[in-house]
């Protein structure tokens, strides 16, 4: 076995059904007295209920979390943090809410409790992507890691089927890139393949039976593992492209990952025969890229970036941006090949192998 470096991040994880009931005791355990509850606008009522569950230790609610974590929204929340003398954060929701909590924590180092309601996996990573003036900038910092993550399967039972599918494939993308990250290691590869297997097993069942607790539990377990992979090792072409596309054209996060992933995998496949064979087996497919495309079909996801709001002119622009700031990838970045990758994803075509 070749040498490797494995770095683990501190995390307290509470997993199960009905585990949100333990939120007040976690607030007390962290000795928090003026908590800010964070949510997206569509979960404003849920945020108020969460605050009521916490009781007197909940000082305020901010339900303005937005996709891609715009700096302007963070600054608005920061004003509330200051005026209400907030000493801790509770984020209940998807990646947008988790991202806002991270952005506040980066600026304040306030302790966080996160209860995910989707399969984004962001809660397990020290990675924060913020958008300013149409540009998304990603950074890593241990300051943004939550002190406690509460995984409650009950919170995902009403997650719409369409969002369940794309959110789950977004999680798979984290694990896929962990298999061939520059700083990959065998421990993360084990977790990545286990996470992919759990997700690939669960998502088609959720489409047919959204209330299936076993499938929902598998998916949340898979999301945890996939997020942990992304937070421990690096990223490559897929995530760089999706961050560029999302930040530049304001595309929906999970849907963009779902559309791009099969094509990014096809691009890197010639350089990674062993990793692709393991990925295909975890998916229950004969080819990794085609298996990911078929999984997106199985959950009814949109394949075409053009239907997610990307302009056709964005193909050339994204290709230029991808090669303008070189980064590590297992296959060298070739402008024409990347342009073709983006064009196939724009049109929603099957990945080219």
| 215-264 pLDDT per residue, tens | 999 999 999 999 999 888 888 999 999 989 988 998 998 999 999 999 99
Indicate if the pLDDT at residue 28 is higher than 90.
Answer: yes
List, in order, residues 6 or more apart from 280 with CB less than 8 Å away: 286, 287, 288, 291
Please choose, from the candidates 66, 53, 7, the residue with its C-alpha nearest in 3D space to the C-alpha of residue 232: 7
Tell me the average pLDDT across 299-313: 97
What pLDDT sits at residue 181?
Answer: 93
- pLDDT of 266 higher than 80: yes
**What is the DSSP pairing of strand 127-132 with strand 112-116?**
unpaired
Percent of the chain at pLDDT exceeding 90: 85
Question: For domain 161-347, which architecture applies?
Answer: Up-down Bundle (1.20)
Please name which of 85, 120, 84 lies closest in space to residue 102, comparing C-alpha atoms: 120
Q: Residue 194: its pLDDT value, please? A: 98
The reply to whether domains 12-156 and 161-347 share a CATH topology is: no
State the pTM of this model: 0.90
Instruction: Inform me whether the pLDDT recorded for 80 exceeds 90.
Output: yes
pLDDT of residue 196: 98
Instruction: Give the CATH number of domain 12-156.
Output: 3.40.50.1970
Residue 118, C-beta contacts closer than 8 angstroms, at least 6 positions apart: 93, 94, 95, 156, 159, 163, 164, 167, 223, 254
Cα–Cα distance, 59 to 51 (Å, whole number): 8
Which sequence spans correspond to the domains of the chain?
12-156, 161-347
Give the pLDDT mean for 100-117. Answer: 97
CA 80 vs CA 34, 62, 74, 173, 342: distances in Å: 12, 8, 10, 34, 41
Separation of alpha carbons 174 and 192, rounded Å = 8
Residue 73 has pLDDT above 70, yes or no: yes
Q: Report whether pLDDT(1) > 80.
A: no
Question: Two tokens at 261?
Answer: 């992933």
Residue 139: pLDDT over 80: yes
Rg of the Cα atoms in the chain: 19
3-state secondary structure 123-148: HHCCEEEEEECCEEEEEECHHHCCCE
């Amino acid at each position: 076995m070749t040498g490797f470096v494995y770095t683990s991040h501190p995390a307290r994880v509470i997993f199960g059904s009905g585990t949100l009931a333990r939120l007040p005791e976690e607030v007390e355990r962290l000795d928090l007295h003026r908590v800010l509850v964070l949510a997206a606008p569509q979960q404003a009522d849920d945020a108020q209920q969460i605050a009521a569950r916490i009781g007197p230790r909940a000082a305020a609610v901010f339900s303005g979390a937005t996709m891609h974590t715009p700096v302007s929204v963070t600054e608005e929340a920061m004003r509330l943090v200051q005026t209400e003398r907030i000493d801790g954060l509770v984020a209940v929701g998807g990646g947008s809410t988790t991202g806002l909590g991270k952005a506040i924590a980066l600026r304040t180092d306030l302790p966080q409790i996160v209860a995910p309601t989707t399969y984004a996996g962001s809660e397990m990573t020290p990675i924060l992507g913020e958008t300013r003036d149409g540009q998304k900038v990603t950074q890593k910092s241990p300051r943004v890691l939550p002190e406690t993550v509460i995984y409650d399967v009950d919170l995902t039972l009403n997650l719409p089927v369409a969002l369940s599918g794309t959110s789950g494939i977004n999680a798979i993308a984290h694990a896929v890139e962990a298999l061939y990250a520059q700083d990959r290691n065998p421990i993360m590869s084990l977790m990545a393949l286990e996470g992919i297997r759990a997700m690939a097993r669960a998502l088609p069942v959720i489409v047919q039976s959204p209330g299936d607790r076993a499938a929902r539990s598998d998916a949340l377990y898979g999301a945890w593992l996939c997020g942990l992979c992304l937070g421990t090792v690096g990223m490559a072409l897929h995530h760089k492209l999706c961050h560029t596309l999302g930040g530049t054209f304001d595309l929906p996060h999970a849907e963009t990952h779902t559309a791009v992933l099969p094509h990014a995998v096809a691009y890197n496949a010639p350089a990674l025969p062993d990793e692709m064979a393991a990925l295909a087996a975890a998916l229950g497919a004969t080819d990794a890229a085609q298996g990911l495309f078929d999984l997106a079909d199985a959950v009814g996801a949109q394949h075409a970036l053009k239907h997610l709001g990307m302009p056709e002119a964005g193909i050339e622009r994204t290709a230029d941006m991808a090669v303008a700031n070189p980064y590590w990838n297992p296959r060298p970045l070739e402008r024409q090949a990347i342009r073709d990758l983006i064009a196939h994803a724009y049109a929603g075509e099957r990945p080219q192998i």
